[in-house]
A and B are shown apart, each in its own frame.
Chain A
Amino acid sequence: MQKIKLLATTFGLLIFGLSMAQDGENGDQKGHENTNKFRQMYQEFATPNLFRTGSGAPGSAYYQQQADYKMDITLNDDTKEISGEQTITYTNNAPESLDYLWLQLDQNIRTKDSKALIKDGEAMPPAEQTASFVKKHYEPAFDGGFNITQVKDGNGKNLPYTINQTMMRVEMDQPLKSGEQFVLNIKWWYKINNHLVDGARSGYEEFPDGNRNYVIAQFYPRMAAYTDVEGWQTHQFWGDGEFALPFGNFEVSITVPSDHIMEATGTLQNPEEVLTEEMLKAYERSKSSYKSPVFIVTEEQAMVNEKGYSTDKATWVYKAENVRDFAFTTSRKYIWERQAVRMEDGSTVMAVSMYPKEGNPLWEEFSTKTVIQTLKTYSKHTFPYPYPKAVSVHAKNQGMEYPMICWNHGRPEEDGSYSDRTKFGMISVIIHEIGHNFFPMIVNSDERQWGWMDEGMNTFCQYLTEQEFARNNPAAVPSGVYPSRRGEPSKIVSYMKGDQNFISPIMSNPENVHQLGANAYGKPATALNILRETIMGHELFDYAFRTYAQRWMFKHPTPEDFFRTMEDASGIDLDWFWRAWFYTTDYVDIGIERVKKFHVTSKPNNRVKEILEQKGMTQSDLPALVYLVAEQSDEYKNEVVKRSEKENFKTLNEYLMDNFTPSERSKLKSPNYFYEVTFTKPGGIPMPLIVQYTYGDGSQETITYPVEIWRKNDKQHIRVIASEKEITSIEVDPKAQTADVDTSNNKWPKDQTDSDFDNFKKKVQ
């Protein structure tokens, strides 16, 4: 007993000696604050409160405002003007009083002196096309801002108001108390822009025969969002940051030429007034047509309609409940198809497509099909789609979303042919814009502040839908794999490895980033995909993501509500992930620095001998030890290799004989190869270490070490491997799951011949 204790102490001294020997000099050191990448997000996250809990769910005092609209709208196709009279009933559900009301006048970004026009710098080009030069410097700008002609309260009394660029403050006689309602009556008009000329998310497209397709949105003064986190959302509309809006109920009457066909947010209230008898029959029939779409207006009929020009008017009436916005489209050129979709929860939703003949043959083939797939996939990952319909409208070059309705590009060439690019571009944009019904139309995040909360989550679900679309439509996607532009980790690499001067964290306002597409769409979508595939697994991720969607359905979540819910519902601490992927511009780069192969021996190696000498000890002071010698060393070549294996393994074998019965020994592992592998992490993002080992017999094994391996050393991780088979090669992240920006350090032995370039070269030559 006594001897064992002594031996143990001696061995302890030996190890102590080893570790001391590794320490460097101890000069004057500076302290530091907690910079560990795994530290909690207390400084970044808002403190939980009764409105929003630490779990990420709405709190007991959570509230949201309500804005109900009754509107009469007239669209004049001759003057290309739109006018409206609207009554807003605003309910203050906040516990505090409101001194004034703010409304969004988004069309004011289109006034001729809009500050948004001069928000970015310019440079004098050496030469410019004359037409462009004249337009820029000689011609007056298009003036498409709001003309507000009346702001009254519910009793018809004029209210003082102030327009500050794209926002309008309305003052009331007295503050609006908690729980009270205020009625506003506003009249307005503006000139509609040609969205193919002046850009924008809405406007008209003019065809050579003079017909116009109108896609109309952000067209009425809308109540700004007022929340517990922002108060009034007063960030102006500069063009990139989209919208922040409260929920409400809408009753809208829209007057257009009587030969126009319309679709809009909400349910049509007077089909018998605006549809012909034949159309009405088809309209009713479509409600139970689950197998294929019913054409309310066929292509043949649309081609007749577009030749007409009626001076009569018709008024279409819509009602929509619990929506944050309202948009509509109108034209005499439209083909109109509707199909009933049976949802998982037993409800029926109408999938609707509306497009001019110029969209065919692409649109009749893919639009409604795509709408249906989107509703199904998104509902599976969030909640059953709660609105009665989803409409995909074809508007050239557009891709823009509103509740129940959206505008999508994808136009074949004039001869009706189209490339795969056009086809997949169209399917993708329909998935994306229909998908926006879930984020942000229902999970109503603040787009003005956080572009990624709807675009990123939506692009992620778009990726899932695209892949499912491919599985369900093999004829449309012969390769079997949908060509998704965003979602796969490899697709974000060229952004994340780029010049840091042009990269911003995801947690940035959309107005202030250099590359909005990568910043608010691609990177967050990829981050979520990596979470699902690699960090959390499908089961834990899908449950947590659904929990988030259902907790915040018809509410206003913040980024923390998402981050917290994902942890709360999965039981995984993800603070490190949010910090690295969402709050920094760090990137992933993990590699292999070196691999050392060791051999076991029973004789003390040089290092131990050295320490024994320093301590004035001899081998007899030590217990039976197993010594390890690196195979690259001289010591190995000169000594170990010269001894017999029996001699080298003597200590080990004796120990096994003394301590295990033959039957126990037969169950032991028998590693013959010992390695020390040093992994290096030049990149700032910690990620699980995925390593594929290839053995001498050709077999392979992939081991995923948890991300926590980086918690005490962010730069390097060393592992000892005892293997029964010889390891012939090692590769980090063999399936490109982590968005590693530099894969040249991912392999041991270093493999030069396997680059993308060489592979391609071999293929073509």
Chain B
Amino acid sequence: MSLSRDNVRLFKWLYKGTYLLLLILVPLLGFTAYHKFYLSVTDVNYNEENQAIQMISRYFIDDMEKLLMERYDITPRLMSDRELQNIDTYIETYLRDKFIIFIDGKKVDWNFIGKQYDIDVMKVYLEIPNIAKGKFHSIGVQSSVLYGVYPEQKNVVHIKVMDVKKSYVLIKEKHSAVLKLYD
């Protein structure tokens, strides 16, 4: 069997409400399980030299396509020759709303550096400059990305500040995590 994105899409389509979730689950649990914990992965790294928090998020292109289409009533055609010209603006607008970083409990704006495709994944690059080393004591990540289309969405976040590393799985019911630094 192939655990492919198309199967996943099928599942999502079904989940969306056309048909009974439980019925479809039987053969698709593999896809849901695959899906549940691997929908997006974000690396949050503190770059000591640049004094910046740098983030790379990986979202499945199919998921983003569907989300942008439904939310903004556009036809993104991601990663194609006919990709919508100002699509980055939509992505940035969406992420500003749904992907929020807190430093010492305060919301901090990030800069949208750009996006890149890697096979079936969209990599989004975000950066928060001017974060002095040793001057902050916690990083919080709040992600509600894609919950709007898939309530079962899981957003995995790996945070790394100097030698402190921690991984989190964010879900709709618990959509934020805070890494405390004790130095």
Contact = CB atoms under 8 A, between A and B. Distances in A.
B4 A419 contact: no
Given A399-B2, A752-B49, A764-B113, A515 B54 contact: no
Contacts of A429: 2, 4, 6
Contacts of B48: 752
Contact of B14 (A120, A199, A765): A199
B125 A757 contact: yes
A142 B10 CA distance: 18
Given A117-B22, A120-B25, A198-B24, A401 B167 contact: no
B89 to A, nearest CB: 15
B26 interface: yes
A117 B119 contact: no
Interface stretch (B28-36, B91-99, B100-108, B135-143): B28-36
A201 B27 contact: yes
A667 interface: no
A118 B18 CA distance: 20
B82 to A, nearest CB: 8
Contact of A752 (B19, B47, B119, B167): B47
A140 B23 CA distance: 10
A482 B81 CA distance: 19
Interface stretch (A108-116, A297-305, A620-628): A108-116
A135 interface: yes
Contact of B30 (A510, A753, A760, A765): A510
Contact of B10 (A110, A397, A455, A755): A397
Given A240-B29, A409-B6, A755-B47, A136 B20 contact: yes
Given A242-B1, A429-B4, A499-B169, A515 B33 contact: yes
Nearest to B111: A761
A756 interface: yes
A760 B114 contact: yes
A198 B58 contact: no
- Best-surrounded residue of B6, B21, B29 (most CB of chain A within 10 A): B6
Contacts of A484: 119
B37 interface: yes
Contacts of A761: 113-114, 125, 127
Contacts of A514: 33, 36-37
Interface string B27-65: 111100110111001000101111000101010011000
B17 A421 contact: no
Interface in A483-500: 483-485, 494-495, 497-499
A123 interface: yes
B41 A200 contact: no
B125 to A, nearest CB: 5
A21 interface: no
Contact of B21 (A132, A240, A400): A132
B23 to A, nearest CB: 5
A139 interface: yes
A516 B30 contact: yes
A154 interface: no
Contacts, number: 196
A483 B47 CA distance: 30
A433 interface: yes
Given A120-B25, A136-B22, A240-B29, A521 B3 contact: yes
Contact of A109 (B16, B26, B45, B80): B26
Interface in A502-530: 502, 510, 513-518, 521
A97 B95 CA distance: 65
A401 B1 contact: yes
A680 to B, nearest CB: 12
B6 A495 contact: no
A703 interface: no
Given A141-B22, A485-B119, A199 B6 contact: no
Contacts of A399: 1-4, 6-7
Interface residues of B, number: 63
Contacts of A765: 113
Main secondary structure of the interface of B (DSSP, over half): mixed
Contacts of A515: 33-34, 36-38
B27 A109 contact: yes
A400 B2 contact: yes
B80 A420 contact: yes
B9 interface: yes
B77 interface: yes
B156 interface: yes
A662 interface: no
Contacts of B30: 239-240, 510, 516-517
Given A139-B20, A518-B34, A494 B125 contact: no
B20 A141 contact: yes
A141 B23 contact: yes
Interface string A619-638: 00000000000000000000
B26 A409 contact: no
A123 B173 contact: yes
A400 B114 contact: no
A345 interface: no
B110 interface: no
A601 B18 CA distance: 81
Nearest to A497: B158
A517 B127 contact: no
Contacts of B79: 419-421
Nearest to B22: A117
Contacts of B114: 760-761, 764
A559 to B, nearest CB: 19
Interface in A198-221: 198-201
A425 B123 CA distance: 19
A142 B5 CA distance: 25
A425 B11 CA distance: 17
Contacts of A499: 156, 167-169
Contacts of B77: 419
Contacts of B125: 757, 760-761, 764
A503 to B, nearest CB: 9
B136 to A, nearest CB: 18
- Best-surrounded residue of B61, B77, B80 (most CB of chain A within 10 A): B80
Contact of B17 (A129, A410, A517): A129
B18 A516 contact: no
Contacts of B169: 499, 502
A141 B21 CA distance: 10
- Best-surrounded residue of B29, B30, B54, B169 (most CB of chain A within 10 A): B30
A752 B54 CA distance: 12
A199 B10 contact: yes
A698 interface: no
A610 interface: no
Contacts of B16: 129, 132
Interface of B: 1-7, 9-11, 14-30, 33-34, 36-38, 41, 45, 47-50, 54, 56, 58, 61-62, 77, 79-80, 113-114, 116, 119-120, 123, 125, 127, 151, 156, 158, 160, 165, 167-169, 173
Interface of A: 109-110, 114, 116-120, 123, 125, 128-133, 135-136, 139, 141-142, 196-201, 238-240, 242, 397-401, 409-410, 419-421, 424-425, 428-429, 432-433, 455, 483-485, 494-495, 497-499, 502, 510, 513-518, 521, 742, 744, 752-753, 755-758, 760-761, 764-765
29 contacts: A116-B25, A117-B26, A119-B29, A132-B19, A135-B21, A239-B26, A240-B33, A242-B1, A397-B6, A399-B2, A399-B7, A400-B1, A420-B79, A425-B6, A428-B2, A497-B158, A498-B156, A498-B158, A515-B36, A517-B3, A517-B30, A518-B38, A742-B160, A753-B49, A755-B45, A758-B54, A760-B123, A764-B113, A764-B114
Given A494-B156, A744-B160, A760-B116, 6 more contacts: A238-B29, A398-B7, A497-B158, A510-B30, A518-B38, A761-B125
Which A-B residue pairs are the 10 nearest by beta carbons? A399-B2, A129-B17, A132-B17, A752-B49, A517-B34, A135-B20, A199-B24, A517-B3, A757-B54, A764-B114
